[in-house]
């Protein structure tokens, strides 16, 4: 039987990210090429050094979609081997499970995740039978997968767990684990949970199953609560958590990888507050300076933009446009973006610019302004913004104005 480093990590209290941007992200109407998936998996794994496979499960795709998707998953499994644990996701059918196992077979730390409906309504839609029979079939599928290739770890995702019977799920989560499942993922498939409900679901499940059952979470963001719900799952003891770069996933997405990872790693006291006293979440702590570069890479590949207000990796991080934040920037930001993320602070010109801000930008462009010139330049900036309807003055435009301003002074001397 192959080593299950994800299960071992979770049982040791370490956090494992189940990365969904290539798989669930496809349901956000995005498509990552096979080459890009490999590149993303490698870069995400490198954030944890040699412990990438212990901290990242990269859901490479859904092989049953088509031959091209199968080949993409296979390429990730082969070429990202050793950087992360690569997973293929499949429906709860024998044919799909066999296909998923083939797509990752023969590679280190390979996994398949079988989606099994847990609620009565979802079971009827997905399998045309009740939840109990669907869950029974899930146990059989775990057995089948283990018999196909014992070196491939098997996980089960209980779809619509948020509307399922806890005692029924617990009984079959135990049976699936006994059959060889590495983790059992509880999914808020429709993203309808409030944080307290998520915490209660995982607390109830933990009370009904033994410690040998490794619970994981997959929580959608339809109400804007994906991050809050995931934090509740972590507080309830879950250590395998699904996320996606930029939050891309079905409908309104899910918790953003960059936000979740940053929150869990940027301050030791915050980590303790979120995970509990004595928590030791990392074999190797993540390199947070990689977050911005990876996010930008994903945005370019998928067409999902980074905005001014995107937390952690957005274009507004580390920017200053008004007087008081310019003088005391540490008072107006919750963390040091340069120290933690490698983002150099940047002063931008907007209609809110003070004379100090104008002088700073001018100096960066090679112009030293006296107070009178700074006041004139500040008035020009504000007129320009309101005339064009664009809040930010491009540096090239401002540089042209400064050339004229300083030339006029020189000529007058």
pLDDT tens-digit profile of 154-170? 999 999 999 999 999 99
Residue 173 has pLDDT above 60, yes or no: yes
How much is the pLDDT for 408? 58
pLDDT digits (tens, 9 = 90+) for 131-143: 999 999 999 999 9
The confidence band for 325, taking pLDDT boundaries of 50, 70 and 90, is low
Q: Which of 53-62, 251-260, 373-382, 398-407 has the lowest mean pLDDT?
A: 398-407
Please state which of the four CATH numbers 1.10.10.10, 3.20.20.70, 3.90.550.10, 3.30.9.10 is assigned to the domain occupying 5-302: 3.20.20.70
How much is the pLDDT for 409? 55
Q: Which of 78-87, 242-251, 319-328, 337-346 has the lowest mean pLDDT?
A: 319-328
Burial of 161 (0-12, 13-18, 19+ CB in 10 A): buried
Residue 265 has pLDDT above 90, yes or no: yes
Beta bridge partners of 313: none
Percent of the chain past pLDDT 90, that is, above it, reads 83
Mean pLDDT value of segment 214-225:
96
Residue 1 has pLDDT above 50, yes or no: no
Which of these, 219, 265, 266, 271, lies nearest to 240 by C-alpha position? Answer: 219
What span, in angstroms and rounded, lies between the C-alpha atoms of 225 and 228? Answer: 5
Mean pLDDT value of segment 239-245:
98
Residues with Cβ within 8 Å of 199's Cβ and at least 6 positions away in sequence, in order, are 232, 233, 235, 236
How much is the pLDDT for 413? 46
Query: Higher confidence at residue 302 or residue 335?
Result: 302
How much is the pLDDT for 323? 67
For all residues of the chain together, what is the average pLDDT? 93
pLDDT digits (tens, 9 = 90+) for 63-106: 999 999 999 999 999 999 999 999 999 999 999 999 999 999 99
Mean pLDDT value of segment 232-258:
96
How much is the pLDDT for 340? 87
How much is the pLDDT for 327? 66
Pairing assessment for the beta strands 85-91 and 111-117 based on DSSP bridges: parallel
Burial of 177 (0-12, 13-18, 19+ CB in 10 A): buried
The confidence band for 16, taking pLDDT boundaries of 50, 70 and 90, is very high
Residue 293 has pLDDT above 70, yes or no: yes
What span, in angstroms and rounded, lies between the C-alpha atoms of 289 and 365? Answer: 27
Percent of the chain past pLDDT 70, that is, above it, reads 96
How much is the pLDDT for 342? 87
> Hey, where are the domains in the chain?
5-302, 318-413
CB atoms within 10 A of CB 358: 26
The confidence band for 234, taking pLDDT boundaries of 50, 70 and 90, is very high
Q: Which of 168-177, 189-198, 201-210, 356-365 has the lowest mean pLDDT?
A: 356-365
In angstroms, what CA-CA distances link 111 with 53, 68, 272?
11, 19, 30
Residue 34 has pLDDT above 80, yes or no: yes
């Amino acid at each position: 039987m192959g080593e299950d480093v994800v299960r071992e990590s979770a049982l040791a209290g370490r956090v494992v990210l189940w990365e969904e941007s290539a798989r669930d992200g496809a349901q956000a109407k995005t498509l990552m090429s096979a080459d890009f998936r490999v590149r993303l998996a490698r870069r995400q794994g490198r954030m944890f050094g040699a412990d990438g496979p212990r901290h990242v499960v990269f859901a490479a795709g859904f092989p049953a979609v088509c031959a091209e998707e199968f080949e993409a998953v296979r390429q990730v499994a082969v070429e990202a081997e050793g950087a992360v644990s690569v997973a293929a996701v499949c429906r709860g059918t024998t044919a799909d499970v066999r296909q998923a196992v083939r797509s990752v077979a023969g590679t280190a730390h390979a996994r398949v995740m079988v989606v099994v409906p847990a609620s009565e309504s979802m079971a009827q839609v997905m399998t045309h039978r009740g939840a109990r029979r669907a869950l029974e079939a899930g146990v059989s599928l775990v057995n089948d997968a283990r018999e196909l290739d014992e070196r491939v770890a098997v996980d089960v995702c209980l779809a619509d767990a948020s509307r399922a019977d806890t005692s029924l799920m617990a009984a079959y989560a135990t049976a699936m684990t006994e059959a060889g499942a590495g983790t059992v993922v509880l999914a808020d498939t429709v993203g309808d949970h409030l944080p307290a409900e998520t915490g209660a679901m995982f607390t109830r499940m933990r009370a009904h199953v033994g410690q040998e059952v490794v619970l994981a979470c997959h929580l959608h963001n339809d109400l804007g609560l994906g991050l809050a719900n995931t934090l509740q799952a972590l507080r309830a003891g879950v250590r395998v958590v699904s996320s996606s770069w930029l939050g891309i996933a079905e409908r309104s997405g899910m918790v953003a990888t960059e936000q979740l990872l940053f929150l869990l790693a940027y301050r030791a006291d915050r980590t303790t507050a979120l995970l509990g006293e004595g928590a030791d979440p990392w074999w190797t702590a993540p390199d947070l300076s990689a977050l911005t570069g990876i996010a930008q890479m994903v945005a370019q590949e998928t067409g999902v933009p980074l905005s001014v207000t995107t937390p952690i990796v957005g274009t507004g991080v580390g920017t200053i446009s008004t007087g008081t934040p310019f003088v005391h920037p540490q008072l107006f930001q919750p963390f040091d973006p340069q120290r933690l993320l490698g983002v150099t602070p940047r002063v931008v010109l907007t209609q809110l610019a003070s004379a100090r801000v104008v002088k700073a930008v001018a100096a960066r462009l090679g112009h030293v302004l006296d107070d009178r010139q700074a006041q004139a330049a500040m008035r020009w900036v504000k007129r320009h913004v309101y005339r064009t309807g664009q809040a930010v003055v491009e540096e090239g435009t401002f540089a042209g104005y400064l050339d004229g301003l300083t030339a006029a002074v020189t000529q007058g001397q």
